[in-house]
Structure 1
Amino acid sequence: MPLYLINGLDFSSNNFTGEIPPQIGHLGDTNTLNFSYNLFTGHIPTTIANLSQIESLDLSHNDLSGVIPTQLTELNSLSSFNVAYNNLSGRCPKRIGQFATFNEDIYWGNPLLVNCTSSQSTRKPPVKQTPTDDDDNDEDGCYIDMGSFYASSGVSFVMVLLTIASVLYINPYWRQVWFYYVGVTITTCYYFVVDHLPVPTRYKVWELRV
């Protein structure tokens, strides 16, 4: 298949290494490139700016270095762009064209990049949090006291039994129905055991003699 017929490439979440080949700019009308979560190194190819129809470019979570090509600001169809968590350096592209619509989080994880935030922005990059004593205290707030749980369960069980006993004592009809179903259940269980459990040999011999 000719390269210019490829509409998109998704190589995300692999273990690809090495540099992104500059020939990537020969993909013609490609509208999607996703190389995220790999081990790519080297610079971002300036030839990507040749992809005039590209709409989504994701190079995040790699080991890319160098500057972000300023030629990328000429991509008027680019609606999604992400180079977060690499080793990029230098100045971020000017906030012109499509780059004026992007948030600064597309650059997070590149401590050597400068001038990546807008003057109005107060957002800060997310920090990976580790468990602390405060977190343990918060979890203790949701802890269930098993002693109280068992006590309340026992009290509830006793209350149910007392309620049933009171109803049966007061209402003769329900008492009669209760004992009827208890008797039916016992009889059913008895015959089930007799029909399905093996009878000892000595009982079989005795039955034959009789």
Structure 2
Amino acid sequence: DLKAQEVAGSRTRISWVKAAQRAEQLTARLKIRMKELEQKRCLTALAPKLVGKAVVVPAGLLSQLQGEKETPGTFARDTKQVEQLAMQAVLAAERAAGYVTRDVSADKCGYDIESRHPRTGRLRFIEVKGRSKGATTVTVTKNEILTGLNKPQDYFLALVEVDGTDTEITYLPSPFTQEPDFAATSVNYSIKELMSRCETAFETAD
């Protein structure tokens, strides 16, 4: 053993005194752990004790009960009716201006409408964003932003304010100035700021 080796004059990695102390410590820890495990085997579940309760009320319902006016959402893209009204309004406006339109919203190509000039064949790429009246922000996906940056001269963001069945379209050419962060999947823009830096443009195909 270590003690005998030290007495014989051999060099050891650890003294026999320290080795004995370490062994005693490990033995003591093992006994404590075994005792804890034995105690856990004897545990029994008791009946739950109620210490409190709460009622969860949706914020919208609470506002209605308090007589507060509901604030419009920042962007109404999750409302199918608003989406449809916005798309219909822009398609009708483009056709009335003489363009030949194609709805590509299902293709997820970074815009919703291809609008072609009947004589020159030049395409306008239009991303449609429907929003409730009074909304202050609009959400744009990373793909839509990158597409707009790749086609700055032909890309338009069409903001459609929807109030019931009434719609008002604002065209924003070249609406984006920089790429989103690498990890971003979408960006919220202030509608006021977007409109302040973009000139409203709408050309007919005459």
TM-score by length of 1: 0.24
Q: Which has the bigger relative contact order, CA under 8 A and spacing at least 6?
A: 2
TM-score by length of 2: 0.24
Larger radius of gyration: 1
The structure with the greater share of residues assigned to strand is 2
